[in-house]
Amino acid sequence: MTKPKSARTVSVSQGIGQDTSFGAVTPPLYLSSTYTFEGFGQAREYEYSRTRNPSRDQLAATLASLEGGALAIVTASGMAALDLALSTLRADDLLLAPHDCYGGSYRLIQGRAERGHFKVLFVNQNDSLMLREGFGHRPRLVLVETPSNPLMRVVDIAAIASMAREAGAKLVVDNTFLSPALQNPLLLGADYVVHSTTKYINGHSDVVGGALVTADQADGEELSAWANLTGVTSSPFDAYLTLRGVRTLFPRMEAQQRAAMAIAEFLAPHPAVEHVYYPGLPADPGHTLAASQQKGFGAMLSFETSLGGSALQKFISTLRLFTLAESLGGVESLIAHPATMTHLGMGEAARATAGISDALLRLSVGLEEPADLIDDLSEALDAGRAAP
């Protein structure tokens, strides 16, 4: 028996050297929306690209393998992947969701609940009393986002998976912040994993995409059929580009998280920094759990500064390597102000409950030289402190 390939090898080698038409080393891109029938009533493997497409299937197989799942459905965005998981809920079903998730996920969940598609209870999943109480309401689906966006709160996937199993609920984990290179929720007992592949999986900030990976084959087939009906599957070109990004996922994650650690260590004692949220720091409340359930601490971190008003603006406008923009997970470093950007639509009250203050800044650390990134932050913090 041949030894199973490591995830790192799968990420690089999927589809390589398999082209039977011309011997192309990298897999070809199939843009055709439709496929010929061999004859009357004789469909081939592929019929219509909304349903299935060879380029999209190649990415799906790679992601299913990297997550240790049965099937993956590649969607047009991360939101579409999350919505696909939410489609398993009926009007009387309860969703137990985190109170501090990505702002877009929060709004989607709230919007669907307001329209009567399901019921929702937002809880602090690190508060064991609140969590137990939430499970007491017999949820049908539990959503976990760990580490959470933007506060990097780490949630115990295996513990929640076992509580969900006991309550007869399914568990879906948003694994966007770590990618399958650094965390595999299905192996910790989750039923579904969702990704915004827009982020680390593609890694080059040039595709918006998503994926839902199921632990169970039948669940995957049912959701795949639903994705075809609702038309949320991704374009073949996006899938092709994303698969190209996957080939460098592991080395990107390794280098980016090394830089993030160096930046967290620089920021933590800085006089203009009040608090750093990064599970890689031993003092972070999520450190021990992250060290046990993750394969790395990731390349996202947040921090609160003592700079307010014009000083904060000066800090951001002085930065040269951290670009002020939404999104994350690309090779370039980005900075975001969640209260006015990614989490604006959540509303002030929900942000306050989640602990997202106006002083919070989120960094997506890229592949630039770490010392250059630290110099950039250092100069900009000094400029902010000197601002009138």
Give the nearer residue to ligand PLP in terms of CB position, either 174 or 376.
174
Q: What is the largest CA-CA distance in the chain?
A: 78
- 79 near ligand PLP, judged by CB under 6 A: yes
Separation between Cα atoms, residue 126 and residue 144, nearest integer Å: 11
Name the catalytic one among 140, 153, 170, 199.
199
* Residues near 316 by beta carbon (within 8 Å), at least 6 away in sequence: 324, 335, 337, 380
Q: Decide: helix, strand or coil at residue 280.
A: coil
HEC string for 186-206: HHHCCCEEEEECCCCCCCCCC
Give the nearer residue to ligand PLP in terms of CB position, either 188 or 194.
194
- 202 near ligand PLP, judged by CB under 6 A: no
Give the nearer residue to ligand PLP in terms of CB position, either 76 or 187.
76
Helix segments in 1-101, DSSP class H: 7-13, 54-67, 78-86
- 78 near ligand PLP, judged by CB under 6 A: yes
- Determine which residue in the list 67, 100, 174, 376 makes contact with ligand PLP, applying CB under 6 A: 174
Tell me whether residue 363 is exposed, middle or buried, using C-beta atoms within 10 angstroms of its C-beta: 0 to 12, 13 to 18, 19 or more.
buried
- Span of 1-9, 27-35, 101-109, 357-365 interacting with ligand PLP by CB under 6 A: 101-109
102 is catalytic: yes
Residue nearest to ligand PLP (CB): 78
- 65 near ligand PLP, judged by CB under 6 A: no
Name the catalytic one among 8, 50, 52, 112.
50
Give the nearer residue to ligand PLP in terms of CB position, either 208 or 387.
208
- Among positions 137-166, residues that touch ligand PLP (CB under 6 A) are 145, 149
199 is catalytic: yes
Residue pointed to by tokens 């994993």: 193
- Determine which residue in the list 146, 196, 202, 224 makes contact with ligand PLP, applying CB under 6 A: 196
Separation between Cα atoms, residue 18 and residue 36, nearest integer Å: 22
Q: Which amino acid is at 40?
A: F
Site residues for ligand PLP per CB under 6 A: 77-79, 102, 104-105, 145, 149, 174, 176-177, 196, 198, 208, 210, 327
